[in-house]
Amino acid sequence: MHRFRTATFDLENGKRLQNNKNMKTTIKDIARDVGVNVATVSRALNNKPGVSPELRRTIQRRAAELNYLPYGQARSLVTRRTETVGLLFDMELGTLLSNPFYSEVLAGIEAEIRQHDYSLMFASTSGEPVQHFTALPKFIVEHRVDGVIVVGSVEANIIDMLITSGQPFVIVDYHLPDRHLDAVLADNVRGAYAATELLIGLGHRTIAFVGGEPLDHGNFGERLEGYRRALNDAGIPFQDDLVAGGGIENGDLNALQILARRPDTTAVIACNDTNAIAALNALQRKGYGVPDRISIVGFDDIPHAARTHPPLTTVHVDRRGMGRAAALRLIHKLHDNDSQPECETVFPAKLVVRESSGPPPAAKPADSEAVLPDERQ
């Protein structure tokens, strides 16, 4: 390097002059101009004590005149802090962004991060498998971030490598059952339980569950579990042929397939709103009235859920709040060296009853010894 050797020199003292156009002005330039030491300039510009008011003003004025911008790399080198946090996720960026759930989580993270004057870096781990921890995103390998927020499910070995890299991190919307890590989660089980409970309370007995891909993974698995438990607590047997998984792309097909093989279905719970809306459209187009013939309940309460026809009954989770909480947790972790133990923060899932759910078409009380809603709990 040393490409700046070509700069002209002041013959008096041999110091480089600030005359090269594409040369950024540094703290040294200001110090020389004002006639003080660089240490004083540093203290003056950072509003640290030990500089007289008038000298401080002089220095700040000169800095502004010279369009001075500090050089973060040098500062970080000595302070050991970059004031930047990294975001890590295991999908293509486009997928993450077009996901209405995560985009709100990200907005929450960004808001909190910005409020604390941190910056954000992004990286996806999708693609080649990460075998060694030097294959982690560059900003982690090169210590360009102070901490990391993992959003959504990632492979377990990525978590392992994060641990061995020594980076402080917090996970949002994902947890490994066997590890004890900092995580911010939605109460998926309780949410799905409440949704199922609502339908059972309305009189439904044949309730389908249409899921994402893979069905038993992460959040979807937990929601399926909530559905299963609610059925069980109501004395309704869980039936395999009422459950269908598959990608979001054919979310509408799932519902139609179940209705084809189980015409007695009167309600559908979807693993998320995107699937629910797809099912809603598909069913309506096939002539099924919602909620008269069939009830639909979603999960997540994405913005569009309130604007469907009929508006979607769904389970609300404060995604933005989850993002903020994760960011705040990480920031605390970075500041308080006396690290409190790892913990999981669980956000409640609140049922939002709109108009896509109602009683089943023909209440057949004699059909089975149905457990009446008020008998339970």
- Residues contributing to the site for a copy of itself (CB under 8 A): 1, 22, 24, 64, 67, 69-80, 82-84, 92-94, 97-98, 100, 103-104, 106-107, 110-111, 114, 117, 119-124, 132-134, 137-139, 141-144, 164-166, 281, 285, 303, 309, 320
Our finding on whether 36 is near DNA (CB under 7 A) is: yes
Our finding on whether 45 is near DNA (CB under 7 A) is: yes
- Provide the greatest CA pair distance for the chain: 105
Residue 98's binding partner out of DNA, a copy of itself, none, with CB under 5 to 8 Å set by partner kind: a copy of itself
**Residue among 60, 70, 201, 350 that touches DNA (CB under 7 A):** 70
Q: Mention every residue, 6+ apart, whose C-beta is less than 8 A from residue 161.
A: 130, 132, 133, 136
When the beta carbons of 80 and 132 are compared against DNA, the nearer one is 80
When the beta carbons of 58 and 313 are compared against DNA, the nearer one is 58
Report the distance separating Cα 266 and Cα 208, nearest Å.
Answer: 8
Distance set, CA 126 to CA 53, 141, 154, 167, 261 (Å): 53, 16, 9, 20, 37
What is the dihedral angle through the alpha carbons of 130, 134, 138, 140, rounded to the nearest 10 degrees?
A: 100
When the beta carbons of 60 and 257 are compared against a copy of itself, the nearer one is 60
173 closest CA partner among 344, 351, 350, 352? 344
Our finding on whether 49 is near DNA (CB under 7 A) is: yes
CB of 31 to DNA, least distance (A): 7
CB of 232 to a copy of itself, least distance (A): 36
Q: Please say whether the dihedral angle defined by the alpha carbons of residues 42, 48, 53 and 57, taken in this order, is positive or negative.
A: positive
Q: What share of the chain is helix, strand, coil (3-state, %, to 5)?
A: 45, 15, 40
79 closest CA partner among 53, 48, 56? 48
**Residue among 77, 93, 111, 141 that touches DNA (CB under 7 A):** 77
CB of 2 to a copy of itself, least distance (A): 9
Which residue stretch of 26-34, 125-133, 225-233, 303-311 sits at the interface with DNA (rule: CB under 7 A)?
26-34
Residue 368's binding partner out of DNA, a copy of itself, none, with CB under 5 to 8 Å set by partner kind: none
Strands 84-89 and 147-151, how do they pair?
parallel
Site string for DNA, 234-273 (x = CB under 7 A): ----------------------------------------
Lookup: tokens for 104: 């709100």
Which residues sit opposite 148 in a β-bridge? 86, 169
Q: Are 242 and 208 in contact (CB under 8 A)?
A: yes
Q: Please say whether the dihedral angle defined by the alpha carbons of residues 332, 333, 334 and 336, taken in this order, is positive or negative.
A: positive
Which residues sit opposite 316 in a β-bridge? 300, 350
Helix residue ranges, H only, the chain: 27-34, 38-45, 53-65, 72-79, 93-98, 100-115, 138-141, 156-165, 188-202, 218-233, 251-261, 273-285, 319-335
Our finding on whether 134 is near DNA (CB under 7 A) is: no
Our finding on whether 53 is near DNA (CB under 7 A) is: yes
Report the distance separating Cα 31 and Cα 36, nearest Å.
Answer: 5
Our finding on whether 50 is near DNA (CB under 7 A) is: yes
Residue 137's binding partner out of a copy of itself, DNA, none, with CB under 5 to 8 Å set by partner kind: a copy of itself
What residue type is 262 in one-letter code? R
Report the distance separating Cα 123 and Cα 260, nearest Å.
Answer: 43
In this structure, the chain runs to a length of 377
Our finding on whether 28 is near DNA (CB under 7 A) is: yes
When the beta carbons of 40 and 308 are compared against DNA, the nearer one is 40
Our finding on whether 74 is near DNA (CB under 7 A) is: yes
Our finding on whether 43 is near DNA (CB under 7 A) is: yes
When the beta carbons of 161 and 231 are compared against a copy of itself, the nearer one is 161
Site string for DNA, 270-309 (x = CB under 7 A): ----------------------------------------
- Where along the sequence are the contacts to DNA (CB under 7 A)? 1-2, 4, 16, 24, 26-28, 35-40, 42-43, 45-46, 48-53, 55-56, 68, 70-71, 74-75, 77-79
